[in-house]
Structure 1
Amino acid sequence: MWPLDPSRKEVLRFAVICRVLTLMLQVLTRFLGSSTPVVYWFPAHLLQDQEPLLRSLEMVSWKPGAEDFPPGQKVPRNSIMGLLYNWKTCSPVTRYILGYFLTYWLLGLLLHCNFLPWT
């Protein structure tokens, strides 16, 4: 093998360190995201405490049907879709949480399909 000059050694060392750190970050976030429900419990707790739309759905004992909504409005099938449909009336905490998860989902979808590293 040919001898490596100092600049090539530094470039190789830097590339190896960057790859190891990237790999560790991806593996750690995958482990934390898939095996730790606390990551999802905390935003759910904030949504339950801070969002008046979710509290109003908890108090209603009946399940809303298509006849309860105006003709042009979609009927939400779950509470998250209801929050997304009523984005402008949501509290800022709800907007930040939903925005974070939607951005994470969209970036992951776009980057993963283009073979870029995303966890």
Structure 2
Amino acid sequence: MWPLDPSRKEVLRFAVSCRVLTLMLQVLTRFLGSSTPIVYWFPAHLLQNQEPLLRSLETESWTPLAEDFPPRQKIPRNSIMELLYNWKTCSSVTRYILGYFLTYWLLGLLLHCNFLPWT
């Protein structure tokens, strides 16, 4: 083994500390995201209180008819899909919450499949 000069020791120390920090951040965010429901309860609470479209979906008993939709389009049964279909009529709080989760999902998809650190 060759003797390390001080510049190589500093680079090695920096590389190891960056890797440890990256691994710690990934593990912490995975633990918080998968085991802490508060991260998801708060946006759900905001959506329930701030979005009039969700309140109207709760009060009305709407049964979709087959002729209401184009032949190959599926009938939305999920309230989140209903919000995404009616993006322009949603409140700004709903747009921010949906935009955050969609951006997080898309960035995670793009970065993780390229072997970049993303949780």
How many residues align? The count is 119
1:68 offset after TM fit, Å? 4.9
Unaligned runs of 5+ in 1: none
Alpha-carbon distance in 1 for matches of 2:18, 2:52 = 45
Could you tell me how far apart the structure 2 residues matched to 1:99 and 1:66 are? 30
Q: Distance in 1 between matches of 2:108 and 2:4?
A: 38
Distance, in Å, in 2 between the alignment partners of 1:20 and 1:81 is: 39
1:59 Cα deviation from its structure 2 partner: 0.6
- 106-115 or 19-28, which deviates more: 106-115
1:71 alignment partner, SS class: coil
Q: CA deviation at 1:66?
A: 3.4
For the residue of structure 2 that corresponds to 1:73, the secondary structure is: coil
Following superposition, the deviation at residue 70 of structure 1 comes to 8.2
| TM-score scaled by length of structure 2 | 0.90
1:108 shift after superposition:
1.0
Structure 1 residue 12 displacement after superposition:
0.7
Partner residue, 1:12: 12
In the TM superposition, residue 77 of structure 1 has moved relative to its aligned partner by 1.8
**Which runs of no fewer than 5 residues in structure 2 stay unpaired?**
none
Q: Deviations over 1:58-110 (max 9, x none)?
A: 11134334345688986322100000000011111100110011111111111
For 1:85 and 1:72, how far apart are their aligned partners in 2? 16
TM-score, normalization by structure 1: 0.90
Structure 1 match to 2:91: 91
Residues 95, 20 of structure 1: alpha-carbon distance in 2 compared, 3 angstrom cutoff = same
In 2, distance between residues paired with 1:106 and 1:11? 33
Residue 109 (str. 1) matches residue 109 (str. 2): yes
Shift of 1:5: 1.1
The alignment's C-alpha RMSD in Å is 2.0
Identity level (%): 91
State the distance in 2 between where 1:101 and 1:39 align.
11
Q: Name the residue aligned to 2:46.
A: 46
